[in-house]
A and B are shown apart, each in its own frame.
Chain A
Amino acid sequence: MSAQLKIAERLSVSRTEIEDFLFEEAALLDDWKLTEWLALFEPGASYHVPPAGSPDDADPAATLFYVMDDYHRLSERVKRLLKRTAHVEYPHSRCRHMISNVRILGGDDRAFTVTSNFATYRSKRGRTELYFGHHNYVMTRADGSIRIRQKTSFLDSDDIAEQGKVSIII
Chain B
Amino acid sequence: MGMEMAFAGQTPPLVDDRSANGIFRVSRHAFVEQSVFESEQREIFNKCWLYLGHDSEVAAPGDFLTRSVVGRKIIFTRNKAGKVGAFFNTCPHRGALVCREKQGSANLFRCFYHSWAFDLDGKLINRPGHESYADDANANGEHNLVPVPRLESYRGLYFLNFDRNACDLASYLGNSMEFIDLVMDQSADGMEVIGGTQEYGFKANWKLLAENSADGYHGQPTHATYFDYVMSTNGNLGDNVVKISKPHDLGQGHAVVEYGAPWGRPIAKAVPAWGEEGEREAAALRADLTQRLGAERADRIAYTNRNMVIFPNFVINDIMAITLRTFEPVGPGQMRVNAWALGPKGEAPKARERRLYNFLEFLGPGGFATPDDCEALALCQEGYSNMAEAGWNDISKGLNQERPTIEDEVQMRAFWREWSRRIEGERA
Q: Are A164 and B202 in contact (CB under 8 A)?
A: yes
Q: Contact size class for B?
A: 35 or more
Q: Are A87 and B340 in contact (CB under 8 A)?
A: no
Q: Are A80 and B368 in contact (CB under 8 A)?
A: yes
Q: Are A66 and B357 in contact (CB under 8 A)?
A: no
* A residues whose Cβ falls under 8 Å from a Cβ of B: 49-52, 54, 60-68, 70, 72-73, 76-77, 79-80, 83, 85-89, 125, 127, 158-167
| Alpha-carbon distance between A77 and B353 when the two chains are bound, in angstroms | 19
Q: Are A165 and B371 in contact (CB under 8 A)?
A: yes
Residue of chain A at shortest CB distance from B221 = A85
Q: Quick check: is B236 within 8 A (CB to CB) of the other chain?
A: no
Given contacts A63-B195, A85-B224, contact A166 B374 (CB under 8 A): no
Our pick among A70, A77, A88 for the contact of B372 (Cβ within 8 Å) is A88
Residue of chain B at shortest CB distance from A50 = B196
10 closest A-B pairs (Cβ-Cβ)? A66-B366, A159-B199, A161-B201, A64-B196, A67-B366, A88-B375, A61-B353, A167-B371, A166-B366, A165-B371
Q: Quick check: is B228 within 8 A (CB to CB) of the other chain?
A: yes
- What are the residues of chain B within 8 A of A77 when measuring CB–CB? 368
In the complex, how many angstroms separate the beta carbon of B269 from the nearest chain A beta carbon? 19
Q: Quick check: is B229 within 8 A (CB to CB) of the other chain?
A: yes
- What are the residues of chain A within 8 A of B359 when measuring CB–CB? 64
Give B326-383 interface residues, CB cut-off 8 Å to A.
336-337, 340-341, 349, 352-353, 356-357, 359-361, 364-366, 368, 370-372, 374-376, 378, 382
Q: Quick check: is B208 within 8 A (CB to CB) of the other chain?
A: no
Q: Are B224 and A164 in contact (CB under 8 A)?
A: no
Given contacts A76-B232, A87-B372, A164-B374, contact A65 B356 (CB under 8 A): yes
In the complex, how many angstroms separate the beta carbon of A44 from the nearest chain B beta carbon? 16
| Alpha-carbon distance between A166 and B368 when the two chains are bound, in angstroms | 10
With most chain A CB atoms within 10 A of its CB, the pick from B198, B202, B340, B375 is B375
In the complex, how many angstroms separate the beta carbon of B143 from the nearest chain A beta carbon? 31
| Alpha-carbon distance between A83 and B225 when the two chains are bound, in angstroms | 8
Q: Are B201 and A162 in contact (CB under 8 A)?
A: yes
| Alpha-carbon distance between A98 and B198 when the two chains are bound, in angstroms | 25
- What are the residues of chain A within 8 A of B222 when measuring CB–CB? 87
Q: Quick check: is B203 within 8 A (CB to CB) of the other chain?
A: yes
Our pick among B200, B349, B353, B374 for the contact of A88 (Cβ within 8 Å) is B374
| Alpha-carbon distance between A64 and B196 when the two chains are bound, in angstroms | 5
| Alpha-carbon distance between A145 and B365 when the two chains are bound, in angstroms | 33
Q: Quick check: is B194 within 8 A (CB to CB) of the other chain?
A: yes
Residue of chain A at shortest CB distance from B199 = A159
- What are the residues of chain B within 8 A of A83 when measuring CB–CB? 224-225, 228
14 contacts between A and B (CB under 8 A): A60-B356, A62-B353, A64-B197, A64-B359, A65-B366, A66-B366, A67-B360, A80-B225, A80-B229, A83-B225, A87-B376, A159-B200, A161-B201, A166-B366
New A-B contacts (20) at CB < 8 Å, excluding given A50-B196, A87-B375, A161-B199:
A51-B196, A61-B352, A61-B353, A62-B349, A64-B197, A64-B198, A64-B359, A65-B360, A68-B357, A73-B361, A85-B228, A87-B372, A87-B376, A125-B382, A161-B201, A161-B337, A164-B202, A164-B365, A166-B366, A167-B365
